[in-house]
């Protein structure tokens, strides 16, 4: 039992700070060699890209790459929060499609910004459903999110069985506009990563999110509302997936109900490459950002060399297996 869970420190139980330091010591070298290995892989990927094709380092390709990684970056950010609680969200791809068709379908009726807000709202609702079943009813995240993946995809096809193209004149503004050298969508993604870094490292709910994956029972004994924290994680995952869908269809100019299939694979891969441990116990926003970059560069290089999509899926699956195995040996 905790020595004292009633004493508060910086808005959170004082004993919680002790528990967090015990689980995630600030000076720990846990997994450092693997982190350095993936950083080295990032540098090597840049070198290979520069040498293998002259197109890779052109301004046009870099801008294209920065736009391409935004959707996976936002999905991966939500996936990270869920993974930190010891869960997983397989419904993110379906929520991407939901956010995409809603933002495209509603933009003609209510305008761009309200349509995006609607996409975020229903993404959050889908996440809320996931969180309630996982946290309140103690069901396995894999089963819950697998079920909602099918349910949400079904709702998307009920909403529209054919691709949607918005006639709003500003529909493609978000996906195509730039602010200086950076696309606006890239700036949005960077802001989201910064906010989640602050959330995970500087707020009591964020620290609780990290700690739950390490020892859920101890967090509960420390006076933290575990159910509410887990539900919040899934809601955030849903919101980020909805935003990713809205941004993606703005860039593509069309919203297909089949959008987002297998996107959960890329998100999990980016999180694991960036240091997240499936089942909870490790991971962070900065590492996930570099995981998104590495995976985006791999995809970009494969596309530039004309590698077919199913070979890319084989490579990404192998990367996940290697990263999970390596992280598991470091625990």
Q: Is residue 57 part of a domain?
A: no
d(CA 207, CA 12): 10
Please write the tens of the pLDDT for every residue from 246-283: 999 999 999 999 999 989 989 998 998 888 988 887 89
Boundaries of domain holding 312: 65-330
Check: pTM over 0.75? Answer yes or no.
yes
Angle between helix 59-84 and 184-202 (nearest 10): 30
Read off the pLDDT of each residue in 2-15 and give the average, rounded to a whole number. 41
Q: Is residue 158 part of a domain?
A: yes
Q: Is residue 25 part of a domain?
A: no
Report whether 100 contacts 259 (CB < 8 A).
yes
By DSSP bridging, strand 182-183 and strand 178-179 are antiparallel
Q: Is residue 310 part of a domain?
A: yes
pLDDT at 299 over 80: yes
pLDDT of residue 21: 44
Q: Is residue 312 part of a domain?
A: yes
Structural domain tally of the chain? 1
Residues 128-148 as b/e (b if ≥16 CB within 10 A, e otherwise) read bbbbbbbbeeeeebeebbebb
State the CB neighbour count (10 A cutoff) for residue 215. Answer: 18
pLDDT at 29 over 60: no
SS3 254: coil
pLDDT of residue 75: 98
d(CA 299, CA 55): 14
Angle at 14 between CA 10 and CA 20, to 5 degrees: 100
Q: Is residue 38 part of a domain?
A: no
Please write the tens of the pLDDT for every residue from 77-120: 999 999 999 999 999 999 999 999 999 999 999 999 999 999 99
Report whether 240 contacts 75 (CB < 8 A).
yes
Provide the CATH number for the domain around residue 117. Answer: 1.10.3470
Read off the pLDDT of each residue in 230-247 and give the average, rounded to a whole number. 98
E-state strands within the chain: 8-9, 12-13, 178-179, 182-183
Q: Which residues contact 209 (CB under 8 A, 6 or more apart)?
A: 81, 84, 85, 200, 229, 232, 233
């Amino acid at each position: 039992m905790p020595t004292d869970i009633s004493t508060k420190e910086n808005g959170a139980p004082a004993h919680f700070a002790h528990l967090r330091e015990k689980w995630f010591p600030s000076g720990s070298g846990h997994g450092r060699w693997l982190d350095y290995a993936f950083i080295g892989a990032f540098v090597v990927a840049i070198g290979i890209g520069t040498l293998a094709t002259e197109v890779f380092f052109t301004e046009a390709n870099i801008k294209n790459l920065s736009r391409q990684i935004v959707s996976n970056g936002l999905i991966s950010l939500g996936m990270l929060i869920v993974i930190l609680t010891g869960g997983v969200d397989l419904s993110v791809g379906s929520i991407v499609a939901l956010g995409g068709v809603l933002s495209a379908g509603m933009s003609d009726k209510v305008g761009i910004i309200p349509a995006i807000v609607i996409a975020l709202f229903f993404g959050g609702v889908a996440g809320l459903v996931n969180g309630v079943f996982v946290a309140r009813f103690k069901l396995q995240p894999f089963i819950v999110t697998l079920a909602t993946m099918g349910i949400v995809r079904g709702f998307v096809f009920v909403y529209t069985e054919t691709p949607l193209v918005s006639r709003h004149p500003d529909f493609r503004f978000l996906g195509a506009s730039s602010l200086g050298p950076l696309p606006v969508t890239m700036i949005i993604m960077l802001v989201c990563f910064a906010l989640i870094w602050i959330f995970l490292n500087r707020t009591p709910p964020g620290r609780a999110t990290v700690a739950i994956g390490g020892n859920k029972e101890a967090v509960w004994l420390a006076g933290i509302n575990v159910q509410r924290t887990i539900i919040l994680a899934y809601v955030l995952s849903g919101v980020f997936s909805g935003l990713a869908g809205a941004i993606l269809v703005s860039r593509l100019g069309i919203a297909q109900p089949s959008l987002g299939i297998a996107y959960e694979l890329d998100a999990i891969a980016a999180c694991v490459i960036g240091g997240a441990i499936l089942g909870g116990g490790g991971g962070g926003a900065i590492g996930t950002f570099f995981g998104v970059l590495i995976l985006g560069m791999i995809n970009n290089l494969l596309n530039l060399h004309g590698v077919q999509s199913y070979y890319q899926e084989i490579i990404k699956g192998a990367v996940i297996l290697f990263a999970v195995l390596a992280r598991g040996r470091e625990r």
